[in-house]
Amino acid sequence: MLISHTQTRLSVKRDPAVQGSDIDAGQPHRLWNRRGAIPVVVAMAARKLSLYQAKRDFTITAEPSGRTQVKPARYPRFVIQKHAASRLHYDLRLEVDGVFKSWAVTKGPSLSPSDRRLAVEVEDHPLDYGDFEGTIPQGEYGGGTVMIWDRGFWAPEVAGDPAGALRKGELKFAIAGEKLNGSWVLVRMRQDRERNRSNRNNWLLIKHRDAYARDNGDPVTEEDRSVASGRTMEEIAAGKGPSEVRAEQAVPPEELAATAPAKLKSRTALRSKPQGNVLRGIVISNPDKLLWPAEGKSTGYSKIDLVHYLDEVGPWMIEHLKGRPCSLIRTPDGINAERFFQRHAMRGMSNLISLVTVEGDHKPYTQIDSVEGLIAAAQIAAVEYHPWNNQPGHPQTPGRLVFDLDPAPDVEFDAVIEATRELKARLEKLGLEPFCKTTGGKGLHVVTPLSVRANDGVDWKKAKSFAQAVCLQMASDSPDRYLIVMTKKLRKGRIYLDYLRNDRTATAVAPLSPRARAGAPVSMPLNWNQVKAGLDPQRFTMRTAPALLRKSKPWQDYGERERDLKEAIEKLARSQ
Ligand SMILES: [Mn+2]
């Protein structure tokens, strides 16, 4: 629980991690206590940020100014931002005494304990920098695109003062992120420590040998999407996708808590008493909470509306979710407030939501295997469902291809329909049997079920290059209508053929999933005879979809249309 006077003194950013449990102010926030010492932290942080502020013109860059005070987390945070400045690097930031201590790691972190990565100490950054993802204008300090590559929590491995450890030139610490975990050390390079000739101190970032270390294998930097928004650097640069989606700030996992000083360990969360409606045995709290506020002609949809919708269409929907990790977009305060993009387990989450551990990944993913799981997810305000596209139960094996036809704002919808039909014809020529659905937005999805089995040797790499090749052919044949590289500037008047959903951890919105947009549109599965001039995706909403689904019975033979991707790949090769 927050101490009340801290809330009045500072403009506190909403931090879901604060809600679950209570951690006493301990190291490294010893100044954050009940005796009103907060202004000391604030004053110290302000002084530390003067260099940060001097380097930037906040009338030009969208980076946070650091003048809004952000409360230190109960548990210190870390973030790694991939930064395509004049030279690509990864900025490691550790929260210490009200600011982010920062290092530019030129080659990025490595999971191999034999790698020693140069980490150049840079100026302290404000705590709200941890939520910054976007593009710093060219010509400005650090001009280039910034991605929230990883984030989570960290703790010093030796009890005591991390600021002091940093002054001495060696900090051993544990981190719990989505991509990085376990034990690390930052050690200042000797020559710099002794001669102290440079303002910029050079450090080495080294992985300790533990369960998370990897001696061989692909560099961890190959995992190349934002943990906050799921976007690639290219998509961020193009301003595509959900720029405001924030990563869930999960409570620190057990391993990290075990390495942290006792004072940092969390107490058990206070459980709210059951209240409100019960459906399929699941208690729905705040049933009348408006998740989609009334806007325009729409009357708004409450949490219980969402629950009833999922209860009704869930049995149909679940066939496309079962056995596949599923990311959730949660909007606890409604779709116009803060959004949380959640891939992994959260403490206190219903056990009706499955957790799956995927080989090679340490943190289990959330997965929805039953209608009850869907309703339990709705209870925590999950409004969008984005499953992987693997064969159920086989995360490494492609189970379907999803093509996202994404038109520029100035493209007529009829052109999208035409493109969808062209792609259908191309896939059919290769022996595949595609389906179509709306996205709930401006585009259409073409989905083609695959019969590939785990031993066919068709992995995601091959599936992705197949999808890319099909889109590339289409774009080469009509360069004035289609493109396969997402850049806002180039897209004008054209349709972006997004084949990037076809990768192991990539997701696409599930058929019948609602969208966090005004009026609660859904991603509606269609029969091909509906995909023609006059189709209006806006008419498929949480209100209308259940009856339309019963009437039109789309995707009825989905299960019988699974086709062999290996054969399609061979056919494509012969046609080239
Ligand atoms: Mn940087």
**Can you give the residue ranges of every domain in the chain?**
4-264, 277-391, 396-511+555-575
What is the Å distance from ligand 1's center to 85 Cα? 7
What is the Å distance from ligand 1's center to 249 Cα? 22
What is the Å distance from ligand 1's center to 102 Cα? 9
CATH architecture of 277-391: Alpha-Beta Complex (3.90)
What is the Å distance from ligand 1's center to 54 Cα? 16
| Contact between 266 and 252 (Cβ < 8 Å) | yes
Helix axes of 565-575 and 413-429: crossing angle, nearest 10 degrees: 100
What is the Å distance from ligand 1's center to 53 Cα? 14
What is the Å distance from ligand 1's center to 242 Cα? 22
Q: Which of 132, 150, 324, 135 is nearest to 224 (CA)?
A: 150
| Shared fold status for 277-391 and 396-511+555-575 | yes
In whole angstroms, give the CA distance from residue 55 to residue 93: 18
pTM: 0.56
In whole angstroms, give the CA distance from residue 399 to residue 388: 9
What is the Å distance from ligand 1's center to 137 Cα? 13
In whole angstroms, give the CA distance from residue 409 to residue 301: 27
A 10 A CB-CB count for 137 gives 13
Would you give per-residue pLDDT tens digits along the chain (576 residues)? Answer: 222 222 222 222 333 332 222 222 223 333 333 333 344 556 677 788 988 999 999 988 989 988 877 766 656 889 999 999 999 999 999 999 889 999 999 999 999 999 999 999 999 999 999 999 999 999 999 999 999 999 988 878 877 789 999 999 999 998 878 889 888 999 998 764 455 555 458 999 999 988 778 887 778 998 889 988 888 999 999 887 654 444 444 444 433 443 333 323 332 222 233 334 778 878 788 889 999 999 887 789 999 999 999 999 999 999 999 999 999 999 999 999 989 899 988 766 788 899 898 887 888 899 999 999 999 999 999 999 999 999 999 999 999 999 999 999 999 999 999 999 999 999 999 999 999 999 999 999 999 999 976 567 899 999 998 999 999 899 989 989 998 877 665 678 899 999 988 998 899 999 999 999 999 999 999 999 999 999 999 999 999 999 999 999 999 999 999 999 999 999 999 987
What is the Å distance from ligand 1's center to 342 Cα? 26
Q: Which of 187, 207, 159 is nearest to 30 (CA)?
A: 159
What is the Å distance from ligand 1's center to 131 Cα? 14
Beta-sheet pairing, 290-292 with 301-302: antiparallel
What is the Å distance from ligand 1's center to 202 Cα? 15
| CATH number of the structural domain 396-511+555-575 | 3.90.920.10
What is the Å distance from ligand 1's center to 186 Cα? 18
Cα–chain center distance at 38 = 32
Beta-sheet pairing, 482-483 with 301-302: unpaired
What is the Å distance from ligand 1's center to 376 Cα? 40
Those residues whose C-beta lies under 8 Å from the C-beta of residue 143, and which sit 6 or more positions away, are: 85, 86, 136, 137
| Contact between 250 and 344 (Cβ < 8 Å) | yes
What is the Å distance from ligand 1's center to 206 Cα? 19
Q: Is 139 left (phi over 0), alpha (psi -120 to 50) or beta?
A: left
Q: Which of 373, 397, 422, 435 is nearest to 560 (CA)?
A: 435
| Contact between 310 and 374 (Cβ < 8 Å) | yes
Instruction: Give the distance between the most distant pair of CA atoms in the chain.
Output: 78
